[in-house]
Amino acid sequence: MSNYKMETKCVQSGYNPGNGEPRVLPIVQSTTFRYTSSDQMGRLFDLEESGYFYTRLQNPTNDAVAAKICDMEGGVAAMLTSSGQAANFYAIMNIAEEGDHIVCASALYGGTYNLFAHTIRKMGVKATFVDPDCTEEELNAAFQENTKAVFGETIANPALTVFDFEKFAKAAHAHHVPLIVDNTFATPINCRPFEWGADIVTHSTTKYMDGHAACVGGAIVDSGNFDWAAYGDKFAGLTTPDETYHGIVYTEKFGKAAYITKATSQLMRDLGSIQSPQNAFLLNLGLESLHLRVPRHCENAVKMAQYLQGHEKVAWVNCPSLPGSKDYDLVQKYMPDGTCGVITFGLKGGREAAVKMMDKLKLVAIVTHVADARSCVLHPASHTHRQMNEQELLEAGVQPDLIRFSLGIENIEDLIADVEQALED
């Protein structure tokens, strides 16, 4: 990790050109790399030597952007993936296999909920979902002999529940497993989960990091803090020989980079959810201004939430940064500078009024997205979370009338005027 301040990391980390080299991160648009010696190519395949040979495994553009995100989070190793879904899938499957189990906070992004509740279950990995507000006793009771990880979202999408890092980290570590946190909504600008005990951080870079709705992507960052070798029987994949790499033991050969190296050399090799260097380049442009955009998203969110709170047709508003919000104490502790640009609210007329109001918006668009420069709304019960039944919706913190409002970085007066006209009869 560099000692630079966050703003400097956003702009400069990850790429440091030498004399006469391009000032801007180049897009290495090549699937492959040339070598003059067949022996050296062999050593690369054996992980005996580091170097590029095929973009499915590693690419210089992708590596530079991963290194920047790694520095911003304060980690030791990182990788990019093709999407946030791939990042969360790999983060779990890198340490869990058939017969294993994970513990998750139940307030999750709909796609992650499906992945954990259904898809990985078919692969033999079961998840127990716990209420984010559970007591320590309830949380500890969710663990099993075969539990391999604890998972949560810094700010849950769209429930906006704030994750109690210390409570979950304590339980994870007492059971000798890592805490994996999806930090998509807060971004490292507002919260750095490693400072609160998380071991692995994931991102959907599709959201604020790209910030312009230009490219889908994901990232996994390792803090290097979890001692896999101390619990070698639980994490045999990292601490015993990998026969597909001539008996390499990841923890012995790669030390603190063991987890990311294994995820790259096994999961990326076999499953192939790579980021394209083009998209990594675009993501990097987004990262360069992340520290400027995130505070504006947050400021607009608070102002819109205050406006909605004062409107007679609005039944309720959830903005974690507002005093009186359910998780306000957790916000003050973990992300006092701001939370995110997403708020949720419900109208007195319920689901029907929500749909009517959304259809009247002009500047704010109905899109399946959050966290980009343009303001947008979505009705999760009819859109992102429509596969869920009523019970699952409530467990994920999604009321049927909930409107998710992602504030962009436009002028707030124009946004409020748009909402005002949409709420008129």
In this chain, which of 218, 237, 320, 380 binds ligand PLP, going by CB under 6 A? 218
Question: 């992340």: which residue's tokens?
Answer: 290
By CB under 6 A, residue 261 contacts ligand PLP: no
Nearer to ligand PLP, 116 or 235 (CB): 116
| Dihedral over Cα of 351, 355, 361, 366: its sign | positive
By CB under 6 A, residue 84 contacts ligand PLP: yes
By CB under 6 A, residue 83 contacts ligand PLP: yes
By CB under 6 A, residue 279 contacts ligand PLP: no
Burial tier of 141 (Cβ tally within 10 Å: 0-12, 13-18, 19+): middle
In this chain, which of 112, 261, 266, 344 binds ligand PLP, going by CB under 6 A? 112
Question: Which listed range, 41-49, 79-87, 319-327, 394-402, lies at the site for ligand PLP (CB under 6 A)?
Answer: 79-87
Rounded to the nearest 10 degrees, what angle do helices 412-423 and 350-360 cross at? 120
By CB under 6 A, residue 372 contacts ligand PLP: no
By CB under 6 A, residue 206 contacts ligand PLP: yes
Nearer to ligand PLP, 188 or 237 (CB): 188
By CB under 6 A, residue 344 contacts ligand PLP: no
Question: Cα torsion for 262, 265, 268, 270, to the nearest 10°?
Answer: -110
CB 112 within 8 A of CB 384: no
CB 409 within 8 A of CB 297: yes
Tell me, residue by residue from 287 to 306, as one string, x for binding to ligand PLP by CB under 6 A and - for no binding.
--------------------
Selection from 240, 244, 241 nearest residue 232 by Cα: 240
Tell me, residue by residue from 165 to 184, as one string, x for binding to ligand PLP by CB under 6 A and - for no binding.
-----------------x-x
Interface of this chain with ligand PLP, residues 222 to 251, rule: CB under 6 A: none
Residue 385: phi and psi, rounded to 5, are -105, 20
Using CB under 6 A as the binding criterion, the count of chain residues that bind ligand PLP stands at 16
Distance in angstroms (rounded) separating the CA atoms of residues 369 and 211 = 11
Q: Is 80 left (phi over 0), alpha (psi -120 to 50) or beta?
A: beta
Nearer to ligand PLP, 15 or 208 (CB): 208
Burial tier of 297 (Cβ tally within 10 Å: 0-12, 13-18, 19+): buried
Interface of this chain with ligand PLP, residues 116 to 175, rule: CB under 6 A: 153, 157
Distance in angstroms (rounded) separating the CA atoms of residues 238 and 106 = 28
Cα 341 versus chain centre, distance: 15
By CB under 6 A, residue 199 contacts ligand PLP: no
By CB under 6 A, residue 384 contacts ligand PLP: no
Three-state DSSP state, 47: coil
Nearer to ligand PLP, 306 or 382 (CB): 382
Q: Which residues bind ligand PLP (CB under 6 A)?
A: 83-85, 109, 111-112, 153, 157, 182, 184-185, 204, 206-207, 216, 218
